[in-house]
Structure 1
Amino acid sequence: MNGKSSRRRQLLQFRWKEYGLGYLFMLPWMIGFVAFVAFPIGWSLWNSFNQVFITSEGFKYTWVGLDNFRRMLIENNAYPIILLTYLQEVLLIIPLILIFSFVVSLLLNEKFPGRGWMRALFFLPVIFATGQVIMELFVQGAGELPFMEQYNLDVILRQYFSETTASMLLGVLGKAVIILWYSGVQILIFIAGFQTIPKTVYEAVRVDGASPWESFWKITFPGMLPFIGLNAVYTIVDLFTFPFNPVLEIVRSNMFSPTTGYGYASAMAWLYFAIILLLLGLTLWLTYRATKGRGELR
């Protein structure tokens, strides 16, 4: 027993000498994570199972179990509709952003005069259109497309599609500017991904007589699958935290309502968070399955 405890102590000393300095460097981050991330998340989860009242003495908690979730899904007709509507819009916008950024990055990866300036031009919205800036731009109407009113697209879409489909399409068209503004990081990641594909592979298939179309589907697209998955994850997180997100607006309004409060709003937020985690998990799983057979994921 003494021999085992001595060896265990020596192993711990060895590991501390090897990794102790790294742990010390990580200590400020771990303290910050616990204080500013882990604790608020845990407190929010606790609130979702309670009815929270703000009194003169502070917060008062009354355990209600899953009652907040039941009220949110059954009694509240607005939240499930807003959540599903926004989810449908996001599921349409995400592929559009990925396709747009992929095509633009293909063009910007080619050699032509002024390529550096064009890359900077597509990345500029990421710098300027953030936070309060993008909110002010949308308030001033900069996020709307003028041709929608000029050509009466509202009337045309409602004439040929159902009310739900037309509203969804109009919502996506109304956010067409977002597709441009929210594609800068994705374009940058795709351009970096193109650099990882060796030029010698393209030269080899060109010697074998493969056309550019064939080389794209046999080399470029398979090689870019991990970066497509990465951009999909980034886009999901980016859009679900969009400043004009109607789901976050209704969560905030219920948080400060005297009839609902923090507990009810926390239940709303956790359902929203669960949907985001589900989409992220599905995206990572599809990326893993798509890249596993080609040996891209290690």
Structure 2
Amino acid sequence: MSHSQSIEHWKSRSQSPPDYKEAIASDYTISSNQSSFPDSDRFLSTSELQIEAIGYDTNQALTGHRTLENISVYSVQSGTPVQEKYTSIRLKSSSNSCALVQSSDPYQNALISTIYRWGPGRHPRMRILSHDATGSVSVKQAIDDDNLCGELIEVKSRSIISRDQVFDTSLGKFEWRYGSREERKACNADSLLILERVDRVVLSDGSKSKSGTRIAQFIRNDQFRTPGSVRYSGGNGGRLVMDLRMWTRKNEKGADVEVDGVEAFVVASCILMLKREADRFIDNNLAAVS
């Protein structure tokens, strides 16, 4: 499905798409006139993106048929994806390694690369690229060049059997985890991924954030799941909802702007979770028939 076809699909999917808070009434959303972060640990959506990924079905897992999938990420307005904002680009069908670029950038300069390494216990690495030091960085450079300037993040599992992934970065220490049954129900989700900041931080007003502060949630259900995928696909896409107030500052005109790179990190780390999920899905299906 092309980018334009995907947008048209979403537009035609519902003549009057519901507002996010109407579609997902939960304890984790609040209106803007209620108590705000960090005084409250309630989750407030500040932006939404649609991550479009078909993922893998059982037939693909058993036959070994994998497509070279570039993942498109769309901005959302009034509940509907409207314009492609980011693209996660893979250069090889034999590797999950990829780089995130802004879709509007004609030169496809990489923002963040994610490198997957072969072998047991070898965790993925993410590199947040420093363009001030290196200038333009191609997708190929971002994936292949280990000498690039940037922040290197070793992605680790919470335990040897855990699906949760921990990211220790200069932005903070984060953990992506799968939501509980109660959390899925609260978000009307078949599958729910939750990103939390797990360290404490002293804010500009002297107050402290709470450990376990929810930063983002990735929701998959009949409304938000990528068209063409099904509930039990491995690594399929959905709706990424973010609360980035911790990194919001005022510009010279007094308008709220987000600190550069935070949203891109959330997107890239979410896509990493989808790729890890797809690999587990494939391995589990192969193990079931071996």
The TM-score, its normalising length taken from structure 1, stands at 0.27
Instruction: Identify the structure with bigger relative contact order (alpha carbons < 8 Å, sequence gap 6+).
Output: 1
The TM-score, its normalising length taken from structure 2, stands at 0.28
Largest Rg, 1 or 2: 1
Higher normalized strand content (fraction of residues):
2
